[in-house]
Amino acid sequence: MKNKRIKIILATVAIILLIPFIAMQFTDEVSWGILDFVVMSILLLTTGFLIELVIRKVTKIKYRIALGILIIIGFLITWVELAVGIFGTPFAGN
């Protein structure tokens, strides 16, 4: 069961990364470099594996849900900051 979830996480990350890759073949609006794919891979894998860790280690369903939501919010905030720079950090995109 544990290995199955890891395979699902890896497959999901690959499918998500195929979306911009395929879009790049049809339009100039999507212009990702290798670094963009590496960074997004790290973000998605980290998010997936953190959620997997919560599922394995946390027994109370309320805590699982709360931690899962926090992990997803952290991912989204990081993604938005890297994409458009809402906080103005040195890592800000755009």
Tell me the three state secondary structure of residue 48: helix
Please indicate, yes or no, if residue 37 is contained in any of the structural domains.
yes
Domain count, the chain: 1
Neighbours of 92 (CB within 10 A): 14
Residue 12 lies in a domain: yes
pLDDT tens digits, one per residue of 34-92? 999 999 999 999 999 999 999 999 999 999 999 999 999 999 999 998 888 787 777 77
Report d(CA 34, CA 27) in Å as an integer. 17
Instruction: Give the residue numbers spanning the domain of 21.
Output: 2-84
List of residues 6+ apart from 92 with CB closer than 8 A: 81, 82, 84, 85, 86
CA distances from 94 to 5, 23, 63, 83, 88 (A): 35, 19, 36, 6, 10
pTM of the predicted structure, to 2 decimals: 0.87
